Amino acid sequence: MAKLDIQIQKKKMIKPSTPTLNHLRTLKLSYFDQGAPRMYVPILFHYLPSSVGITERCDKLQKSLAEMLTMFYPLAGRFSEDEFSILCNDEGVEYVETKVNTDLAEFLHQGPKNIELLDDLLPTDLPSSPLLGIQVNVFNCGGLVMGIQISHILADGFTLGTFVKEWARISLTGMTKGCLPISFGGLSSLFPTRVQSGPQFAAPSNRDPNIVTKRFVFDALAIAKLRNRTNSSATFRRPTRVVAVMSLIWKVLVGISLAKHGHARDSHLLFPINLRGKSNLPSLEHALGNFYVTVVAALEANKSRKELTDFVSVVGGKTRDIAAGFSNANIDDITSACVTYGTEVLSKLGQKDVDNYPSTSWCGFPWYGADFGWGKPCWVSSVSKNYEGISLLDTKNGDGIEAWVSLKEDDMAEFERDPEILSSTSNRKLHLIPQGIDI
């Protein structure tokens, strides 16, 4: 399967089921929105065939999405010309339905091996520049894959997760009552945009043909072994699942860089930390929008970094610093700290002859609970990237981690055959089709 045979069946704008009130027609962006990458954030939800007909499923998705947009009304708007606010004008979100000329079982066996196949399941032709795009891909067997692209300027992982969770609940129950308290604008009132000078972060706009993305699965046993490898006498507590996996990947990448260049280079692992629940400000616990800080775990070239413990110490130490620094912070403290961290990130990204590895983790978000009325997803996946980086997602059972690694082709060849990666990752074949079920 070199390329998917996909035909667009329907393309339309979905608008809120009731017009947005006049006093909500303009949403100011926050300082955190201002610093978010100008890019769409993608995710795919894969569903096995259901007794619920395709027409009924698609109708249910459209209706519930329109109802959902009355609460997430900024997603149906457009950016203003100054890009400091959103015009909540109910222009709508892009909704696409496609027919995929293959069976889901065949695709699921191929998709993990050929990550680029997944890209075709996302809404990519978005001429109206919407803040949200949805593509519902229907396979010959009745299986369904829903691709979502959401503007990072308005949403981080928490906000996207909240949107999917509530949309699925409305679709499943047919009720809008009982939703989580949903409110936009809280962050912008506390953290308004600022006049910024100097270079700003921008995600690559063109695909680099030398970048390849591959998926590596760490099961529960492998993760437990990684966590147990750290020095028990160290001054830090046992690392989390995410810290252990991310530290190992970073360690391997540092080794590849050393072999390639013939000498050690400064190495930086960049990763975002969700700030919800980190401060004593209860109003920020469920804040929607972007509310995270990107930090840098740094290892200098002249420092010894041979053991996994060395990397865990740096990554874990950085996450603990954030927790300690924000626990009693007020609004001014948070703003000042985030400006400092942001300046450090831009400084590292601007350096030459160093290695920077952007990374993110969506572990812990309830992606596999997204039941729209025909069962929970059999797989929740990422897609390929056009820049070097690492993304982590939970496996379906919740105790493993899928690492989606994007590297230059020659570096990926070294990464794949690294002994520590080979011993820590299981067979990447997906076991998503229940035995006895013919799809």
> In the predicted model, what is the mean pLDDT of residues 295-301?
92
Q: Characterize the bridge pairing of strands 132-139 and 144-151.
A: antiparallel
In angstroms, the CA 273 to CA 294 distance is 6
Lowest mean pLDDT among 148-162, 217-231, 240-254, 395-409: 217-231
**pLDDT of 49-69, one tens digit each?**
999 899 999 999 999 999 999
Q: At what angle do helices 220-229 and 241-261 cross, to 10 degrees?
A: 70
DSSP track, 42-107? EEEEEE---SS-HHHHHHHHHHHHHHHTTTSGGGGSEE-TTSSEEE-----EEEEEEEESS-HHHH
Q: What is the pLDDT of residue 231?
A: 60
Confidence (pTM): 0.93
Q: What is the pLDDT of residue 361?
A: 97
**pLDDT of 315-341, one tens digit each?**
999 988 888 888 889 999 999 999 999
Q: At what angle do helices 220-229 and 308-326 cross, to 10 degrees?
A: 90
Q: How many CB atoms lie within 10 A of CB 316?
A: 23
Supply the residues annotated as catalytic.
152, 371
Which of 405, 428, 427, 115 has its CA nearest to residue 252?
A: 405
Q: What is the pLDDT of residue 122?
A: 96
Higher pLDDT, 432 or 177: 177
**Considering the chain, what percentage of its residues have pLDDT values greater than 90?**
72
Contact 428, 112 (CB under 8 A): yes
Instruction: Please check the confidence at residue 181 and state whether its pLDDT lies above 80.
Output: no
> In the predicted model, what is the mean pLDDT of residues 31-46?
94
Q: How many CB atoms lie within 10 A of CB 400?
A: 21
Instruction: Please check the confidence at residue 219 and state whether its pLDDT lies above 90.
Output: yes
Average pLDDT, the chain: 89
In angstroms, the CA 429 to CA 419 distance is 19
Lowest mean pLDDT among 2-11, 143-152, 180-189: 180-189
**pLDDT of 411-436, one tens digit each?**
999 999 999 999 999 755 555 554 44
